[in-house]
Amino acid sequence: MIILYRMDITMIILGIDPGYAILGYGIIEAEGRRIRPVDYGVVETKAGEPFPERLEKLYLGVRQLVGMYKPEHIVFEELFFYRNTTTALPVGAGRGVAMLAAQQSGVPLYEYTPMQIKLAVTGNGHADKKQVQQMVRVLLGLREIPKPDDAADALGAAICHANTSKAAAEEFRIR
């Protein structure tokens, strides 16, 4: 018996780099091994706004992105705190409302560590931020490195998912 897999199926992937001041997003279209950028940017909140209002803005921003682009998969960069632990709780809250907005859409959610994303994008799990940004630019055929950094990171997460086999991706699915 011969089983044929369709490699021409197009999938929209929304990558999210969570934060509470800046939440990066990147939308790519993957078809087989080909990927192309659809959109990228950030959802920003202002430091002077009350924290609940900032969280609401993040929640509504993710809902709007999901509604506009109708992704088949949503990917989060897993949080990693090395030095600035004072921002861990607010960033975690921002990630939580973004994840809630994504979960309510019914789209499967996945998460990858920064090391997994670096490895998938550059071939080196210890690559620095500039190397990752440059490879995101190259892989997506962009003229310039996506700005701000949070948008480039979100695109990197989406690229990582696009380059992960279907079987392996199930390991990273958020249940």
Catalytic residue among 39, 111, 128, 150: 150
- Is 150 an annotated catalytic residue? yes
6, with CB counted inside 10 A (0-12, 13-18, 19+), is exposed
What CA–CA distance (Å, rounded) separates 37 from 158? 10
Write the DSSP symbol of residue 86. Answer: G
Catalytic residue among 8, 17, 72, 111: 17
- Which of 12, 58, 66, 7 minimizes the C-alpha distance to 33? 7
Please indicate whether residue 39 is annotated as part of the active site: no
Whether 17 is catalytic is: yes
> Burial, 3: exposed, middle or buried (Cβ in 10 Å; 0-12, 13-18, 19+)?
exposed
**Active site residue: 29, 72, 77, 171, which one?**
77
Question: From residue 159, how far is each of 5, 11, 42, 122 by CA, in Å?
Answer: 21, 12, 17, 11
Q: Which residues are marked as active site?
A: 17, 77, 150
